[in-house]
Amino acid sequence: MNLVRSSRFAACPGPVITIVLDGVGISPREEGDAVKTARTPTLDALRAEFPTTRLRAHGTAVGMPSDDDMGNSEVGHNAFGAGRVFAQGAKLVSEAIASGSLWQGAAWREVTAAAKGGHTLHFIGLFSDGNVHSHLDHLKAMLVQAKAEGVARVRLHILLDGRDVGETSALDYVDPFEAFLAELRNASFDVAIASGGGRMQITMDRYEADWSMVVRGWAIHVRGEGRQFASARAAIETYRSEARVIDQDLPGFVVARDGKPIGQIVDGDAVVLFNFRGDRAIEISRAFVDESFDKFDRGPRPQVTYAGMMQYDGDTRMPPRFLVVPPAIDRTLGEYLAKSGVTQYAISETQKYGHVTYFWNGNRSGKFDEATETYVEIPSDVVPFEQRPWMKCAEITDTLIAAVRSGRYRYLRVNYANGDMVGHTGNFEAAVTAMQALDLQLARLLPVIRAARGTVMITADHGNADEMYELDKKGNVKRDAQGHTKAKTSHTLNPVPFVLVSGEADPGFRLRQDLAAPGLSNVAATVLNLLGFEAPADYDPSLIEPA
């Protein structure tokens, strides 16, 4: 796996750095674009002075089923690190269902066998068609199949979205799904929604940023402990009138009959987590299957047959039972550099730390080489992002500047989470503030890199802050009867920027103009060329050529 020195590209004299401005896309419109609205003199000057292009960051360019599917941070960082496009979770699950291979797999047979032994089959997951963490079509197919195979009792534990879909769209999913369940339900098939809550309140924590979310989810889903309602609709309507928050922040609820929860998870039951994306699925999976678990008191842990839609972490085999084999991403940029002795540095705050490590390395935990790799996590604040939209960008920059000045690292990568995490709140003014905070940090960082004769690629993994208002099918901003705009909290289908900044007056390379539709996967080969290596033959083409 050693890299071959290039005869076409001389290695850049200083460090090579990839800066990922998470969630910062390029919108064709002005209204609702926090990126354009923000005062960003540093970014503006860089785009005016240095070579720039646009990269595709959604759909088939990042392994999603179609170009109607938005990208996300996970598939985006997979593409950055892999240098090639791999079919991602959404597509793999859809194909497994269509071919019938999911039903033939050992994991599906085991969970249905457990449920058919007089127990309940439970499904937990993100309840939307955002196609980022999950898709309701997958859940529907599994319910239909479970009924056909003779499973008698099913309970659903729904995590309300409002992040990858409309911020207050929960009932747009719950009501039709209740009708779907009513059609499935009969004397021999008892199926119902048993619990739920907003995805940023219960269950779906990631990177151990806030285990209290998982604690609340465990109490709601497993123990049936929480505020009781007659239905999911009743819970959503009540919480909206009381708390006045968007779907992702709705508190947890338990559906009950005569004061008793209808769907506690007990010994002998089977549980399927139907999310296909890994980051927000690992912690709840650990709570179910980890024998040495010590993050919170689970109480009497029910002995269940547990399966993930996919294996969310191949290194720790979490969970050991899974329905669909995840993409086998091999020979990543990080692995090639490690095997060639190139020193690497990766940094972000907690919210995106796994993206510059785990996802960048092809869904692999840990390092390829302890001696040459340094990973730094800046702990994120546990506060609503709109209340502190600068997040940890200054602390990240402090640490990154020190790393550049140390001269120890040839390749460095950083993720600034602000555009994505603040963009997901739907708060336009906060997103503008987030962009301005990022620009201030770039103004501090770039002179240090250029003084070190470094080369910088400034890009993004997908759009978000560039489109903060909902659009209709014609691309116009949606407004209510009073003319108010409706906030958008999901990612966009927009391309992302790529700006190539060199500290050298004559760097010896230039951006290629012959690539028809470059995407995020073209960045890895570019990094290798800047470091003086040829990219592997099957990597997507570099964005640069000799000058």
Q: Which residues are catalytic?
A: 73
Q: How far apart are CA 185 and CA 188, in angstroms?
A: 8
3-state SS record for 238-291: HHHHHHCCCHHHCCCEEEEECCEECCCCCCCCEEEECCCCCCCCHHHHHHHHCC
- Cβ contacts of 89 within 8 Å, gap of 6 or more: 276, 277, 309, 310, 324, 326, 327
- CB neighbours of residue 53 within 10 Å: 17
- Cβ contacts of 14 within 8 Å, gap of 6 or more: 449, 452, 453, 454, 455, 503
Q: End-to-end CA distance of the chain: give it in Å, rounded.
A: 28
Q: How far apart are CA 155 and CA 220, in angstroms?
A: 13
Q: How far apart are CA 523 and CA 543, in angstroms?
A: 7
Q: b vs e for 307-339, b when ≥16 Cβ sit within 10 Å of the residue's Cβ?
A: bbbbbbbbeeebbebbbbebbebebbbbbbbbe
Q: How far apart are CA 388 and CA 384, in angstroms?
A: 7
Closest CA to 353 of 377, 373, 333, 334: 377
Secondary structure element (H or E) that encloses residue 544, with its range: strand 544-546
Token pair recorded at residue 220 = 């709601």
Q: How far apart are CA 9 and CA 99, in angstroms?
A: 46
Name the percent of the chain in helix, strand, coil, to the closest 5. Answer: 35, 20, 45
Token pair recorded at residue 69 = 């599917």
Closest CA to 414 of 433, 437, 397: 397
